[in-house]
């Protein structure tokens, strides 16, 4: 039997640098796909060992390459130990990981409910505490402007960070929705980022979404229509919904605001496939365009009953995301100006312009909301325009990394 560690390959997982009580700085590996049960921390100065695990290099080769990068001799035994630890944690592409993935994916496929995965972490797990926090820390902090949307509200862009850091952004977004949600709306199209790599351009989820405040049911008819019109299997990546927070955080606000009002959701993760990976106009990608055209048609069919919500953050910059240092004041101003241009294109409902502008610096600004925002701009009614409600740069108080996000209302 071939040695699965002979040429170790790291899975496509999230790797960020974080402060660590023992190491000082650590490379934190997190599995957005949810197969690995917990993150793994590697001493920061040993990060090149992990980056050399490309599936082509032997352990001897990794040791030699890492030694040149780090500037001191790295022993093969150290490489072997790290490889064993990562395989034990399901972070490597090995038969052990593949077997585990089949088990976990099958279990999720058989379930009828998508659990509240981040309850007790990104937000309160206790329903009373959660409802109180949404009301007091989020909604009550937003300005009450009464009719400020100047038209019929048809869509929303909201953050997808944890509630603790993005309370004000959520408050502006969902405070506006609480004031202006049209009474006939009963179908919410939820468009989110997948923080794990997707095999297909989009992924729907045909499961009830649980929250501490109660569940929201999927719109099965809408999901069947999207599946029938798309040139790929829209449920191939359904499993990625299991641990994804970008939609879960929208669902808790919707559940709180709707109360007993009947409504269904259409949950969609938006990766845009090759179009986003290559910075190519999604209209030139037959698979992505087939889904987008179906979504546009579905929203038009539902008419006034439809409402679109993009759970989307903007920039991710600084040491946590691989940059050598935090941004200085001038660079933060430049980032804000760059974000402002993205927001202007959102306000003007310019989907193609937004995609092109964000794609220009996707590798450095790392706008994780490109997929859901572009999809929302494509699916919103043609007459819709946006209004900026809130923008901020969330700065890590320890190492200075930044995640920016904006809250917008769309009216027609």
Residue 191 is predicted with a pLDDT of 98
Sorted by sequence, the CB contacts under 8 Å of residue 367 that are 6+ apart come out as: 313, 314, 315, 316, 342, 358
User: Quick one: pLDDT at residue 3?
Assistant: 81
The whole-number average pLDDT for the span 312-337 is: 96
- So what's the pLDDT on residue 147? 42
Q: 10 Å Cβ neighbour count for 11? A: 20
Residue 191 CB partners (closer than 8 Å, separation 6+): 268, 270, 308, 309, 310, 311, 312, 371, 372, 375, 376, 379
At which residue do the structure tokens 């352990």 appear? Answer: 59
Q: Is the dihedral of CA 88, 89, 90, 92 positive or negative?
A: negative
Tokens of 218: 């999927």
Per-residue pLDDT of 192-216, as tens digits, reads: 999 999 999 999 999 999 999 999 9
Please name which of 401, 299, 296 lies closest in space to residue 16, comparing C-alpha atoms: 401
The share of the chain scoring above pLDDT 90, in percent, equals 89
Answer yes or no: is pLDDT of 2 > 60: yes
- The answer to whether 314 and 361 are in contact (CB under 8 A) is no
Within 10 angstroms of residue 34's Cβ, the number of other Cβ atoms is 19
The pLDDT value given to residue 150: 73
Confidence of residue 141 (pLDDT cuts 50, 70, 90): confident
Confidence of residue 145 (pLDDT cuts 50, 70, 90): low
3-state secondary structure 65-132: HHHHHHCCCCCHHHHHHHHHHHHHCCCECCHHHHHHHHHHHHHHHHCCEECCCCECCCECCCHHHHHH
The number of angstroms, rounded, from the C-alpha of 353 to the middle of its chain's C-alpha atoms is: 21
Banded pLDDT at 144 (limits 50, 70, 90):
confident
Indicate the domain borders of the chain: 14-105, 113-411
**pLDDT higher for 256 or 20?**
256
Total-model pTM: 0.92
Q: Exposed e or buried b for every residue in 227-263, given b needs 16+ CB within 10 A?
A: beebebebbebbbbbbbbbbbbbbbbbbbbbbeeeeb
Confidence at residue 149, expressed as pLDDT on a 0 to 100 scale: 58
For strands 402-411 and 153-158, give the pairing. Answer: antiparallel
Q: What is the pLDDT of residue 18?
A: 87
Per residue in 36-72, pLDDT (tens digit) is 989 999 999 999 999 999 999 999 999 999 999 999 9
Tens of pLDDT, residue by residue over 28-41, are 999 988 899 899 99
Question: Quick count: other Cβ atoms within 10 Å of Cβ 7?
Answer: 16
Are residues 282 and 354 in contact, defined by beta-carbon separation less than 8 angstroms? Answer: no
The whole-number average pLDDT for the span 158-186 is 96
Q: Are 275 and 281 in contact (CB under 8 A)?
A: yes
Domain 113-411, CATH number (from 3.40.50.620, 3.40.50.720, 3.40.830.10, 3.40.50.1370): 3.40.830.10
Range 87-113 average pLDDT:
96
Chain mean position to CA 140: 26
For the cut 80, the answer to whether the pLDDT of residue 4 exceeds it is: no
Q: How confident is the model at residue 5 (pLDDT cuts 50, 70, 90)?
A: confident
**Helix or strand or coil: residue 161?**
coil
pLDDT at res. 146: 44
In this prediction, residues 352-372 reach a mean pLDDT of 97
Query: pLDDT category, 151, cuts 50, 70, 90?
Result: confident
Through-space distance between the first and last CA atoms of the chain, rounded to whole angstroms:
63
- Give the lowest-confidence range in 140-144, 217-221, 357-361, 390-394: 140-144
Mean pLDDT of the chain: 95
- Evaluated on CA atoms 316, 268, 241, 180, the torsion sign reads positive
Structure tokens at 95: 């038969």
Given a cut of 80, whether residue 246 has pLDDT beyond it is: yes
* DSSP code for 236: T
Q: Does position 269 have pLDDT exceeding 50, yes or no?
A: yes
Greater pLDDT, 332 or 2: 332
Q: What span, in angstroms and rounded, lies between the C-alpha atoms of 1 and 156?
A: 54
Report pLDDT digits (tens) over 7-16.
999 999 989 8
């Amino acid at each position: 039997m071939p040695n699965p560690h002979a040429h170790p390959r790291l899975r496509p997982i999230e790797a960020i640098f974080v402060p660590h009580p023992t190491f000082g700085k650590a490379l934190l590996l997190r599995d957005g796909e949810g197969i690995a049960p917990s993150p793994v921390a590697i001493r920061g100065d040993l990060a090149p060992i992990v980056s050399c695990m490309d599936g082509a290099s032997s352990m001897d080769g990794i040791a030699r390459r890492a030694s040149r990068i780090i500037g001191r001799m790295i022993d093969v035994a150290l490489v072997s130990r790290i490889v064993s630890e990562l395989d034990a944690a399901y972070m490597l592409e090995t038969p052990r990981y593949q077997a585990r993935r089949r088990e976990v994916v099958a279990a999720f496929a058989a379930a009828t409910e998508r659990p509240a995965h981040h309850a007790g972490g990104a937000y309160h797990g206790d329903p009373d505490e959660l409802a109180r926090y949404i009301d007091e820390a989020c909604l009550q902090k937003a300005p009450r402007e009464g009719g400020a949307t100047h038209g019929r509200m048809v869509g929303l862009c909201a953050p997808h960070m944890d509630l603790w850091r993005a309370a004000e952004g959520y408050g502006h977004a969902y405070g506006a929705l609480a004031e202006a949600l049209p009474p006939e709306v009963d179908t919410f199209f939820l468009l989110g980022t997948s923080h794990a790599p997707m095999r297909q351009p989009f992924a729907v989820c045909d499961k009830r979404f649980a929250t501490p405040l109660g569940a929201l049911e999927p719109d099965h008819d809408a999901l069947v229509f999207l599946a029938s019109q798309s040139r790929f299997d829209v449920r191939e990546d359904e499993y990625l919904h299991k641990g994804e927070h970008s939609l879960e955080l929208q669902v808790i606000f919707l559940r709180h605001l709707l109360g007993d009002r009947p409504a269904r959701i259409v949950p969609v993760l938006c990766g845009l496939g090759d179009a986003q990976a290559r910075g190519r106009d999604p209209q030139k990608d037959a698979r992505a365009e087939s889904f987008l055209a179906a979504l546009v048609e579905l929203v038009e069919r539902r008419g006034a009953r439809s409402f679109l919500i993009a759970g989307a953050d903007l920039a991710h910059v600084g040491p946590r995301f691989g940059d050598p240092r935090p941004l200085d004041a001038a660079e933060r101003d430049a980032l804000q100006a760059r974000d402002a241009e993205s927001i202007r294109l959102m306000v003007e409902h310019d989907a193609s312009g937004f995609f092109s502008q964000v794609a220009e610096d996707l590798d450095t600004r790392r706008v994780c909301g490109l997929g859901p925002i572009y999809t929302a701009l494509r699916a919103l009614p043609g007459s819709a325009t946006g209004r900026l409600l809130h923008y901020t740069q969330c700065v890590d108080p320890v190492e200075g990394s930044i995640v920016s996000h904006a809250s917008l209302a769309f009216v027609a």
